[in-house]
Amino acid sequence: MDSKMVSVRINGSEYSVPSGATILDACKRAGISVPTLCFLQDVAKNASCGVCLVEVKGAKSLVRSCTACVRDGIEIITNSARIRDARKTNVELLLANHPKECLSCVRNQNCELQEIAAELGVMHDRFVQTKKKMEWDTTSLSLVRDPNKCILCGRCIAVCGTVQTVHAISLSNRGIKTRVSTYMEKGLGNVACTNCGQCALVCPTAAIVERDDTDEVFEELLNPDKVVVVQTAPAIRVGIGEAMGMAPGSLVTGQMVAGLRRLGFKKVFDTQFTADLTIVEEAHELVQRLTNKGALPMITSCSPGWTKFAEHFFPDALAHLSTCKSPQQMFGALAKTYYAAKLNIDPRKMVVVSVMPCTAKKYEARRPEMMSAFEHWKEKRAWSADDAFYDVDYVLTTRELSRMFKESGIQFASLPAEEFDHPLGESTGAAVIFGATGGVMEAALRTAYEVVTGKTLTDINFVALRGMDGIKEAEVDLNGKKLKVAVAHTLGNARKLMEQIERGESPYAFIEVMTCPGGCLGGGGQPIPTTWEIRKKRAESLYAEDLGKTIRKSHENPQIIALYKESLKTPLGDLSHHPLHTSYQKRGLFVWKTNGHRKKEPVSTK
Amino acid sequence: MDGTETLSKELQEIDGVITKHRGKHGELLGILEETQLLNEAQFLSEEALNHVALRTGVPLSRVYNVVTFYSFFNLKPQGKHKITVCRGTACHTKGSKALLEDIGLILGCGKALEDGEAFYTTPDNEYTISTVACFGQCALAPVVAIDGVIHSNVTTATLQKLLKKFSKRRITS
Ligand code: SF4
Ligand code: SF4
Ligand code: SF4
Ligand code: FES
């Protein structure tokens, strides 16, 4: 933005604002609120809704303040009968073709269209419907699209194309037939979509939502034959409070555990346990690649949107991905092998539910290769394909969990703090920060340093890797060997680092990639809205939790040490290979040609 | 499409088109236009679109956006004869909906032309019937174009006459 200041007059008062500012910016600076709907800070500026109209002296028609810029001496009015009328009419026009299903809509009371209609005082259903009913897109394992609820704001297209550089969706057709489409209407599940859910996170309405698995989980919880355990990702403890009406970033680890017990989960475990395990395996993998001249830079693989992105867009660079499964998948595999054996539970009767900030995790859990517990048992027990089960049975997003809490009448804020169950509930500070961009790298370095040097790392805070810059860098000294590392969040930033690798110019040994802006705390399954301000608050809480932990290095987690002793023996060993490591497939862009590997049909959705 | 298989003749020709347009203003539109003209049935097959996306690096969704935005592009094979009925306001008030229905009756595809809008190719690939929002010939309403020739002030009678040639040929052939 230009630093030159210009003078503007808003509602009769003088203000001085930067010359490149939009009228909306100028009003914000002046503390005057102007309603908006399609506009989304840093993401979308399509000026499609006409809710942000203001009067500019001398202009014939009303002006869309989200895109029109100020000029010196401009006179702006933000409230007049003409403005109120026009704004209201624009919303009424949107409502003409919008299903009025608020009471049975997943976004009820969390919907920007609903909010704006209330705010602008829309009281009449004035216009007749002109659009025909459109089919839902239920092809994706992660998301469901209801084009009837779409107001064509273009936010999803902008986030998918500009922030994530995936371009899975675009507008199609024109005039009254305009809609958001995938290529040839194949559906999200049949095109190169990463399932990141950022589109759902920015959608003002219920036109793109997570696939709802709450009914299935409720049903399992009622089944007396099943042992239903739950794991929670780091980012849930800084998100679920918010979804339950608390302040953004509220750290509610203990209440979350208590609430999950109230829902009826037999054991409440922590994905952070396997986050620590991931770090131990991954740090050893890095050391191995450094000594054996393996593919470098090595890139983290815990973010399933990212791994799928790499499979689609960089199929020839998959050797750079760490072979470590994500913590969610390591957890499922271990729960149904190690833990099931320990407690003598029939793994077929065990149900692993994960609570994730992420919609891509729903897809990840259904990848056909993610059945390693079944593979482990099937020979020993002579089981047939009919007994087959996934390592992780259901994935719930933060938003779904909040719905389950609400439906069950759980007064979340007044729950007592409770502890995770043992042994899969124990974790370190290193695992907590997995939820923030830079956290996995920081955690890995805390361990890799000690593995390589044999010395104790005293200053364990890698501050350069924290914060919300799109790409962050640091250099670490491992026994005189200087390693450059980088951290990227959003797939657009990941793409930049991948192109550097393709050009043979990557200076890095190790790269962390997180699909979502801010890392998992900004995941596609997190509470809506998720803004930069809110992301920062969630991150602060995670770093505070890390600081408060007595053990802050993954390899010092006593239950991880016990796990290696009792079962896995050594990192990267033969025994850890199957449950903890995976491989990737070259998918390319023409997914519908190679698809068809789905073993189980996606569960029905509401 | 992994580079090892030999490309069909059509895809090779598309490669030629892409090279010709590379770097030019309106590159994608130019490529798509010429690609469609190359096709015997005057349409853009999915295979052709995949190929254009692959070679140009334009995202598939964006290619789809363009080909569905411009009415010039066809995603389905076109009949040998093209009949376009104007459904603009002027033509509508002068009865273009009835004309559309007449065409349906004459060519035996009534059902497909129901909603006062159409995009239909007869099963024998002889005729494609479509509608446009406006020809810009409102003074001559109602307007019907047959194989590129615009007929003005069309009535059911003139329409029958115009289509007779075709349907005769159709019956006798
Ligand atoms: S998307 Fe919003 S306005 Fe539409 S039905 Fe749902 S809650 Fe109501
Ligand atoms: S889930 Fe992500 S990749 Fe898929 S359409 Fe939405 S934003 Fe794009
Ligand atoms: S799906 Fe949602 S985000 Fe996308 S254009 Fe429609 S309303 Fe906007
Ligand atoms: S917010 Fe400005 S046009 Fe929608």
- CATH topology classification for A214-580: Rossmann fold (3.40.50)
In a domain, B170, yes or no: no
In a domain, B75, yes or no: no
A267-270, strands of its sheet edge to edge: A267-270, A227-232, A350-356, A394-397
The verdict on ipTM greater than 0.90 is: yes
- Cα–Cα dist A90/A550, whole Å: 56
Same domain? For B60 and B113 the reply is no
pLDDT of B117: 63
| Choice among A149, A267, A336, A361 that is catalytic | A361
**DSSP string of A542-590?**
HHHHHHH-S--SGGG-HHHHHHIIIII-STTSHHHHHHHB-------S-
In a domain, B100, yes or no: yes
Q: Quick check: A133 contacting B, CB < 8 Å?
A: no
Question: pLDDT band at residue B7, thresholds of 50, 70 and 90?
Answer: confident
Cα-Cα end-to-end distance for chain A: 45
Compute, in angstroms, the gap from residue A496 CA to the centroid of ligand 2.
Answer: 18
Question: pLDDT band at residue A594, thresholds of 50, 70 and 90?
Answer: low
- CATH topology classification for A5-94: Ubiquitin-like (UB roll) (3.10.20)
**Contact at CB, A182 and B68, closer than 8 angstroms:** no
Question: pLDDT band at residue A605, thresholds of 50, 70 and 90?
Answer: very low
pLDDT of B162: 84
pLDDT of B103: 85
Question: pLDDT band at residue A72, thresholds of 50, 70 and 90?
Answer: very high
Domain that holds residue B61: 9-69
Angle, in degrees to the nearest 10, between helices A372-381 and A327-334 = 20
Compute, in angstroms, the gap from residue A92 CA to the centroid of ligand 2.
Answer: 29
The region of weakest confidence among A111-120, B65-74, B101-110 is B101-110
Give the domain-ending residue among B69, B90, B115: B69
Same domain? For B60 and B29 the reply is yes
Domain residue ranges in chain A: 5-94, 131-210, 214-580
The region of weakest confidence among A394-398, A467-471, A567-571, B100-104 is B100-104
pLDDT of A514: 98
Same domain? For B94 and B64 the reply is no
pLDDT of B106: 82
A209: Cβ below 6 Å to ligand 1? Answer: no
**DSSP string of A140-169?**
-SSEEE-GGG-----HHHHIIIIIS-----
Question: CATH number, domain at B126?
Answer: 3.40.30.10
- Cα–Cα dist A203/A144, whole Å: 12
3-state secondary structure of A491: helix
Cα-Cα end-to-end distance for chain B: 41
pLDDT of A524: 98
DSSP secondary-structure letter at A602? P
Residue of B nearest to A132 (CA): B115
Q: Of A197 and B157, which is predicted with more confidence? A: A197
Q: Taking residues A174-194, report their average pLDDT.
A: 96
**pLDDT digits over B99-115, tens only?**
888 888 888 776 666 66
The CA–CA distances, whole Å, from A195 to A144, A348, A360, B53 equal 11, 28, 5, 22
Q: Taking residues B81-96, report their average pLDDT.
A: 90
Decide: A166 and A172 in contact? Cβ < 8 Å.
no
Domain count, chain B: 2
A369: Cβ below 6 Å to ligand 1? Answer: no
- Cα–Cα dist A13/A310, whole Å: 53
In a domain, B132, yes or no: yes
Helix (H) and strand (E) counts for chain A? 22, 17
pLDDT of A348: 97
In a domain, B120, yes or no: yes
Q: Quick check: A171 contacting B, CB < 8 Å?
A: yes
**pLDDT digits over A120-178, tens only?**
999 999 999 999 999 999 999 999 999 999 999 999 999 999 999 999 999 999 999 99
The minimum CA-CA distance between B128 and chain A, rounded to whole Å, is 19
- CATH topology classification for A131-210: Alpha-Beta Plaits (3.30.70)
Same domain? For B85 and B159 the reply is yes
**pLDDT digits over A235-277, tens only?**
999 999 999 999 999 999 999 999 999 999 999 999 999 999 9
In a domain, B15, yes or no: yes
Candidate of A155, A157, A162, A163 to mutate for ligand 3, largest count of ligand atoms within 8 Å of Cβ = A155
The minimum CA-CA distance between B116 and chain A, rounded to whole Å, is 14
Compute, in angstroms, the gap from residue A191 CA to the centroid of ligand 2.
Answer: 10
Which residues are registered as beta bridge partners of A268? A230
Candidate of A91, A92, A111 to mutate for ligand 1, largest count of ligand atoms within 8 Å of Cβ = A111
Asked if pLDDT for residue B3 goes beyond 70, the answer is no
A465: Cβ below 6 Å to ligand 4? Answer: no
Same domain? For B104 and B146 the reply is yes
pLDDT of B115: 63
Question: pLDDT band at residue B168, thresholds of 50, 70 and 90?
Answer: low
**Contact at CB, A181 and B64, closer than 8 angstroms:** yes
Phi, psi dihedral angles at B131 (to 5 degrees): -120, 155
A555: Cβ below 6 Å to ligand 1? Answer: no
Same domain? For B13 and B54 the reply is yes
Give the domain-ending residue among B43, B69, B95: B69
